[in-house]
Chains A and B, each alone.
Chain A
């Protein structure tokens, strides 16, 4: 568990600095088990900040999404830093963006949180469907503790933990300026068991599975908006000339969109799981992302988002790349 006081104090101290504009973190949401992003411009705003296993969102999208308004005459650009509260995966997304030169490290202050995993909010909602007010969740060793209407309920962590967190290798922020609390011990090695099992299926079984899901896609692009690494100024899905993907919502166009979205994140996706969380059609997008992650690791021994100085996967090559797929 993260010490709430330590977090608030760190935010207060940081936001009072001359060179910091604001800090984005988490606050209590307005209903159920959702937290909401919170912006602290003054040290007073820091009071609202929380961190608990409900803080699923990847806040790295905010500095990327920020709109830069044209400057008025004689106005100076505000180049003060932006602070972000980051978990392990969030920090990796940031490293990846730094690698791609989408942001500059000197414009950021990172408040790192050693993560012990976040919950799958959909699963909690199934357990407590009538909970409409914000409800806090505490973590105690291997249990999550819910205090609902004066009764305390303990649920094993395994049951509610988000899938991406089960195989998380980097729960500790890989870059940070301030670390809140002690580093988490890492126990897991990804096994890619799901991907491997899926690989065993026949081609038609695979297609039936995806067909069922892709038919449900409504092309809302929530997966893209939630992803910290989908920050292209114009997404290929929005191009009109040439129009790579037609706007009609039908199976073939949806398939093209989902394949291309996954592919554009090859060697960049850091498995934060935001895309899948954001998808209203409950399409298992991580299953596509994980295929690529596994292959990239096996073929090219490459992991995204670890070192800001490293070259990107597709920007480099190795003459010894395995060639087994050439005809």
Chain B
């Protein structure tokens, strides 16, 4: 549970939990750093070996523990270190996103994207975009669940 308590301690507005896969997106994020690209400090990165490690439960858990948004990143189709992991992630997360939408969670709060090791600029752009989008919405995690508009 230590990870999840950190979300509330982050105390930035909005809080975004960011899942990175070790082989592509993680390296993309590194590249953004070494290229001195600016991206928001609102993101709490969690590195996993493959995007398919992320269980829908983790996403729900993040929201429960005070995240305002969850961003999942992985390798592009065909580039997965484990060959087919990201295809499987995608099926799951696409369905989870539809389900969350039907319960009233704004789709802007839960996104998925593919970032390769060379796409540091894309990483910076997407995290900025997501945080900007979420700034326009009321806080989700801390002030009562749901109630999105």
Is A263 within 8 A of B99, CB to CB?
yes
Instruction: Please name all residues of chain A whose beta carbon is closer than 8 Å to the beta carbon of B96 when the two chains form the complex.
Output: 263
Assess whether B23 is interfacial by the CB under 8 Å rule.
Answer: no
Which residues between 221 and 242 of chain A lie within 8 Å of chain B, taking CB atoms? 236, 242
Residue of B with least CB distance to A267: B95
Measured CA separation A259–B100 after assembly (Å):
8
**16 chain-A/chain-B pairs, Cβ below 8 angstroms:** A195-B102, A203-B148, A204-B147, A206-B102, A206-B104, A263-B56, A263-B99, A288-B99, A299-B94, A319-B77, A319-B87, A325-B97, A325-B112, A327-B112, A327-B113, A327-B126
Q: Are A314 and B102 in contact (CB under 8 A)?
A: no
Q: Shortest Cβ distance from B69 into chain A, in angstroms?
A: 12
- Residue of A whose beta carbon sits closest to that of B114: A326
Q: Is B111 in the interface zone, CB < 8 Å from A?
A: yes
CA distance A209 to B90 in the complex (A): 28
Does the CB pair B95–A295 fall under 8 Å? yes
- On whether the beta carbons of A314 and B103 are closer than 8 Å, the reply is no
With A and B bound together, what is the CA distance between A80 and B107 in angstroms?
51
State how many angstroms separate the Cβ of A69 from the closest Cβ of chain B: 33
Q: Does B145 contact A (CB under 8 A)?
A: yes
Of B13-21, B26-34, B40-48, B57-65, the segment with at least 4 beta carbons within 8 Å of chain A is B57-65
A255 at interface by CB-CB < 8 Å: yes
B104 touches A204 (CB 8 A): yes
A260 near B60 (CB under 8 angstroms)? yes
B92 neighbours in A (Cβ, 8 Å): 314
Chain B residue numbers with a CB within 8 Å of A327 are 111-113, 126, 129-130
Report if A252 contacts B (CB, 8 A). Answer: yes
Interface residues on A, range: 35 or more
Q: Tell me the bound Cα distance from A317 to B126 in angstroms.
A: 26
Whether A313 contacts B91 by the Cβ 8 Å rule is yes
Chain B interface: which size bin? 35 or more
Among A243, A260, A317, A326, which residue has its beta carbon within 8 angstroms of that of B56? A260
Tell me if A203 and B105 are in contact (CB < 8 A): yes
Q: Report A-chain residues with C-beta under 8 Å of the C-beta of B149.
A: 202-204
Interface code B120-147, partner A: CB below 8 Å = 1, 0 otherwise?
0000001001100000000000000111
Contact yes or no, A203 B113, CB < 8 A: no
- The interface residues of chain A lying within 8 Å CB-to-CB of B60 are 256, 259-260
What's the Cα separation between A35 and B96 when bound, in Å?
36
6 additional contacts, CB 8 Å, given A203-B105, A260-B60?
A: A204-B147, A236-B57, A255-B145, A259-B103, A321-B87, A326-B114
- Across the interface, do B95 and A321 meet the contact criterion of CB distance under 8 Å? no
Asked if residues B104 and A263 are in contact (CB atoms below 8 Å), the reply is no
Distance to closest chain A CB from B141 (angstroms): 10
In the complex, what residue of chain B is closest to A257 when comparing beta carbons?
B60
| Chain A proximity of B74: nearest CB distance (Å) | 10
- Quick one: closest B residue to A315, CB to CB? B88
Asked whether any CB of chain B lies closer than 8 Å to the CB of A146, the reply is no
> Which residues of chain B are near A205, meaning CB under 8 Å?
104
- Per the bound structure, the CA–CA distance linking A300 and B77 in Å amounts to 17
Q: Chain B contacts of A295 at CB under 8 A?
A: 95, 98
List, in ascending order, chain A residues with CB within 8 A of B77's CB.
Answer: 319
Whether the Cβ atoms of A292 and B95 lie closer than 8 Å is: yes
Query: In the bound complex, how far is the Cα of B106 from the Cα of A42, in angstroms?
Result: 57
